[in-house]
Amino acid sequence: MRIMDPNVRKEQILTAAKKLFSQNGYYQTQIADIHREAGVARGTIYQYFKNKDDIFETLLEKLYSDWEKLLLTGDIKSNDYMEVFRFRVKQSFEFFFRDPEYCNLLLRVALGSGQNFDRIIERFNEKLVHLIKANLREAVNIGRVRKDVNLDLATNLLGGALSRMLYYYTVIQKNAGFSIDLDELVDGYVNIVAYGILAKQ
């Protein structure tokens, strides 16, 4: 029994929980697993978290606020809409590449864990949608994006494509041991989204 800085201890538990939730999902991760993985007594967990839900929510809240922070910082000054867009996309890739467990947690586990966490997921969604849609709208206004694109549709298309790529390249491929060139990915994404896949005639 070693007394420890409460923040460190809390982090210790969260780290274990993140790993296990990400690996096995919410319902297939037991409190017993977490306390074992964290090297902490079972009861200790309940000094830092109200219950299992609370751990999971804390993880998601942290993910959300980290992401939000990222979006606020490191802004780019450019007049080219595509440049800005490219920057944002790269940021997201970097963010999730650094922490694939987060990626898995958000894009798979939380999504499928039932209505308990719908509210939180919704917050992510809204933020993402808002971000893309607002940018798109502006780009339409300045004539950079075609006037005939349906904003809602485009937003979902871009968002879905991004999510899937994040998931694929950070979770699936990385697990398989592939090394990936970030810039290549981002370029690939932006390119298709911008110009489509068709060859020029």
| Coil vs helix vs strand at 123 | helix
Spatial distance between the Cα atoms of 113 and 25, rounded to a whole number of angstroms: 8
Q: Which of 3, 8, 176, 197 touches a copy of itself by CB under 8 A? A: 197
Instruction: Give the per-residue contact string, 20-49, with DNA (x = CB under 7 A; - = no).
Output: ---------xxxx-------xxxxx-xxx-
Within positions 92 to 131, which residues make up the interface with a copy of itself, using CB under 8 A? 108-115
Burial class of residue 153, CB neighbours in 10 A (0-12, 13-18, 19+): exposed
Spatial distance between the Cα atoms of 10 and 38, rounded to a whole number of angstroms: 10
**Which of 112, 95, 106 is CA-nearest to residue 59?**
106
Q: Which does 1 bind (CB under 5 to 8 A by kind): DNA, a copy of itself, none?
A: DNA
Q: State CA 157 to chain mean position distance.
A: 17
Q: Which does 175 bind (CB under 5 to 8 A by kind): DNA, a copy of itself, none?
A: none
With binding defined as CB under 7 A, does residue 90 bind DNA? no
Spatial distance between the Cα atoms of 141 and 139, rounded to a whole number of angstroms: 5
With binding defined as CB under 7 A, does residue 62 bind DNA? no
Q: Which does 9 bind (CB under 5 to 8 A by kind): a copy of itself, DNA, none?
A: DNA
Which pairs with CB-CB distance under 8 Å and at least 24 residues apart come from 156-163? Answer: 156/129, 158/132, 158/193, 159/128, 159/129, 159/132, 161/189, 161/193, 162/89, 162/92, 162/189, 163/107
With binding defined as CB under 8 A, does residue 59 bind a copy of itself? no
Looking at the Cβ atoms of 74 and 188, the one nearer to a copy of itself is: 188
The minimum distance between CB 75 and a copy of itself, in angstroms, equals 22
Where does this chain bind DNA (CB under 7 A)?
A: 1-4, 6, 9, 29-32, 40-44, 46-48, 51-53
Where does this chain bind a copy of itself (CB under 8 A)?
A: 24-28, 82, 108-115, 136, 143-147, 149-150, 153-154, 156-165, 167-169, 184-185, 188-189, 191-200
